[in-house]
Amino acid sequence: MPRQIRKRNGVVVQFDASKIFGAIRKANQAVGEEAMTPEMIDVLTKKVAASVEGNDIPTVEQVQDRVEEQLIAFGYAKTAKAYILYRAEHAKIRQAESSLMDIYKELTFRDAKDADIKRENANIDADTAMGTMLKYGSEGSKYFINNHVLPKDIAAAHINGDIHIHDEDFYMLTETCCQIDLIRLFSGGFCTGHGFLREPKDIRSYAALACIAIQANQNEMHGGQSVPNFDYAMAGGVRKTFRKAYFKALAQYFEVSHGMSRGDARALVSAVRESVGSEPTLQRGEAFGQALSEWLPAHQRENGFEAISAQEALAAHAYAMRTAEADTDDATFQAMEALVHNLNTMNSRAGAQVPFSSINYGTDTSPEARMVIRNLLLATEDGLGDGETPIFPVQIFKIKEGVNFNPGDPNYDLFQLAIRTSAKRLFPNFSFLDAPFNLQYYKPGDYDTEVAYMGCRTRVMGNVHDPDRQVTCGRGNLSFTSINLPRIAIEAKGDLKKFYKTLDDRIDLVIRQLLHRFQIQCGKKVYNYPFLMGQGVWLDSDKLGPDESVAEVLRHGTLSVGFIGLAETLKALTGKHHGESAESQKLGLQIIGHMRERMDEESRQTGLNFTLLATPAEGLSGRFLRIDQKKYGKLPGITDRDYYTNSFHIPVYYPISAFKKIELEAPYHALTNAGHISYVELDGDVCRNLEAFESVIRWMQKCGVGYGSVNHPVDRDPVCGYTGVIGDVCPRCGRREGEGVSIEKLRELRKKYPSMPRFVGLE
């Protein structure tokens, strides 16, 4: 029997076996069956005491773990369950006593740079008034959910770090994200909940309304917003702008060449619009010119207007086409530039955040869409004011063989431009429609069958609820919860059977939790989501009245189980992660494959879309690790760093070639149908080598990656505006971090770099 025990507050006191005896008795009494004799309790108490004997002083948590094990080992399953609940209840009480007000104090009196809790999500500025307000709400809500809403064992599993319920603060409120079809939304105009907007008539208003739609939806959901068909959606705006520009130019031509008054020229053009059947477009210019040259001379003659020959009509048409194309191109660039600026500056959530936006494009080969894609990439390459790299929208270039991947494909030039842009600005990322698990849905030219990704990596496509509607638009994730995989492996102590048993229990628990949350979500009405449901953004919500339940239409969404730290899991099970050993890779694929099978099975049984997610885990990477480090100490290769490795990634510290990394990670993309991403780190010089960059993307496509990108350092000196790799010294102005540069030097540099930032009042 150990002589001492370490209490939760770290104090070491004398070991007292009667406390174990008392706890077991209490749990057994609470059950009311499986009656245990005092002798039996005594045997168990001795077993527990013996099992924690050793050189180290045992902790209360360790002793409690052993009690659970012994109860289960001796077949007292119900008593074990009662004991677990008793522990969970006490864990909650302990937390309740200390936590909420301490959290509020920390939020109030400490800066984000000193308080990790204020940097949980890097895109929220928690130092601002509204950012802090948002955190008060968020932390208060989590407290409420843990203590008053969640079933006890689920709350305990979340608090103790077996699982993590993402966006738990929104548990009672809404869903994660949605893929917005702007084409449907714009048709006939829409209402944001704060005013009605007419159907846009120009590419500039298309782009502006795209931002507004993203913003309006973001305020009704807790995750991000994505436009899955940005090129298709904006093409309509370009078409309208072109038409307007064409007729304006046509009128100008006659004003200048024929000395017509503006009124006459306009009257002529309106007669053209009414009488020449077709409309001029970028693509069908020639046909319209032909029709014009046939109709106009006769029209002039018959009405006794001044003569215009067929040849002259053709010349007017040629001028109008040329001018309209150039004007439309300019307008489109402005529109895309404004979109990027707006999405980086417009507020959501009371000003604490900009909307989390993603846009997918690359496959529409119409000249209008191509103009959109080209100008968006050029505007992204230019950057924000003073040349800053835009953070939003997350851009995803959809790669498809026969459309843009190979020389000769109609959008191949845009793929090349995307590579150049990404090599400078980190965006776009690349998605791969030829990956078999994406290709199975693809129908040429139908954007609703092209898989799209949310910026963070979420993917929504398959639909067991309605197999005829395996589409991207109008759908999204409802909620997701992640499992702490490394912990299960640590506890299994190399016993694979035990590992799978615990994993299955955890998956069961998470499924139960996701359904618990789903029931709450199903209790909402259309009027709870004036934009998402009220404007028909979510699939089938257009068929519902304002007071109707959203339960049925929510079934188009996904419920996802996520995971973190496959690398550490494999380390714990076999001593090697999947980058180090082919055996571990095999086991890794078995584990993740098993999780996926469980999701598919659950989908079949419930008719709901259960999917497996390679969790993004921004805040979680540290949270699980910290709890586990406290529990198990610093286990080499498992808990000895400050984070768990993201999803199925090869650890970031492990030296491996880009190609090998991609090859090893690709098969996991096929298994994680709720979303995935792989990235490789290239150094700054490789990145400027566009062929090398492209070879990485092509390898991703070949290996069956679904979504990927290339990381490289993008540093910027705000003083001289230099963007690129900066070591200790800025290569342009020569200053070190924090040093000043003389005005003279900046003036000198500006002669060479006219777009450098300006310093108001100094120059």
Partner 1 sequence: MTQKTTAANETMMVGEGVGFARIRRITGYLVGTLDRFNNAKRAEENDRVKHGL
CB atoms within 10 A of CB 637: 16
By CB under 8 A, what part of segment 341-400 binds partner 1? 356, 388-389, 391-392, 394
Smallest distance from partner 1 to CB 705, Å: 13
81 or 735: CB nearest partner 1: 735
103 binds partner 1 (CB under 8 A): no
CB nearer to partner 1: give 322 or 758. 758
Alpha helices in 303-411 (DSSP H): 310-345, 367-382
Q: Confirm or reject binding of residue 686 to partner 1 (CB under 8 A).
A: yes
State the minimum distance, in angstroms, from the CB of residue 587 to partner 1: 23
Nearest-approach distance from CB 355 to partner 1, in angstroms: 12
CA 561 to centroid of chain Cα atoms = 15
Task: State yes or no: residue 709 binds partner 1 (CB under 8 A).
Answer: yes
Name which of 323 and 629 has its Cβ closer to partner 1.
629
Tell whether residue 746 is a contact of partner 1 (CB under 8 A).
yes
- Closer CB to partner 1, 102 or 739, in the complex: 739
| Contact status: 740 vs partner 1 (CB under 8 A) | yes
Site for partner 1 in 599-658 (CB under 8 A): 616-619, 621-623, 625, 641-643, 646, 652-658
AA letter at 318: A
Q: Is 542 in the site for partner 1 (CB under 8 A)?
A: no
Return phi, psi of residue 202, to 5°.
-155, 150
Q: From the CB of residue 528, how many other CB atoms can be counted at a distance below 10 Å?
A: 16
Q: What is the CA radius of gyration of the chain?
A: 31
Residues 6+ apart with CB under 8 A from 624: 161, 164, 484, 486, 487, 564, 565, 644
Q: How far is the CB of 709 from partner 1 (least distance, A)?
A: 7
- In the complex with partner 1, which residue's Cβ is closer, 123 or 347? 123
Chain positions 688 to 707 lying near partner 1, rule: CB under 8 A, are 692, 695-696, 707
Q: Is 116 in the site for partner 1 (CB under 8 A)?
A: yes
Look at residue 7 and give its three-state secondary structure.
coil
For 194, the token pair is 């704060």
Q: Which residues contact 473 (CB under 8 A, 6 or more apart)?
A: 179, 180, 181, 184, 228, 229, 447, 448, 539
Residues 409-428 that bind partner 1 (CB under 8 A): 426-427
Tell the smallest beta-carbon distance from residue 123 to partner 1 (Å).
7
The rounded distance, in Å, linking the Cα atoms of 108 and 129 is 10
Rule CB under 8 A: choose which of 197, 310, 635, 714 binds partner 1. Answer: 714
- Answer yes or no whether residue 680 interacts with partner 1 by CB under 8 A: yes
Angle CA(467)–CA(471)–CA(475) in degrees, nearest 5?
Answer: 105
How far apart, in whole angstroms, are the C-alpha atoms of residue 170 and residue 49? 43
Give whichever of 279 and 618 is closer to partner 1, judged by the CB atom: 618
Query: Is the link from the previous residue into 486 a cis peptide, with omega within 30 of 0?
Result: no
Residues in 161-180 at the binding interface with partner 1, rule: CB under 8 A = none
Q: Name which position in 295, 735, 750, 753 contacts partner 1 (CB under 8 A).
A: 735
196 binds partner 1, rule: CB under 8 A = no
Between CA 533 and CA 542, with CA 538 as vertex, the angle to 5 degrees is 60
By rule CB under 8 A, what count of residues binds partner 1? 77
Closest CB to partner 1 among residues 288, 679: 679
Strand-pairing partners, residue 611, are 560
Binding partner 1 by CB under 8 A: which of 228, 355, 455, 462?
Answer: 455
Structure-block tokens of residue 430? 């690349």
C-alpha pair distances (Å), 136 with each of 106, 130, 133: 10, 10, 5
Cβ proximity to partner 1: between 545 and 740 the closer is 740
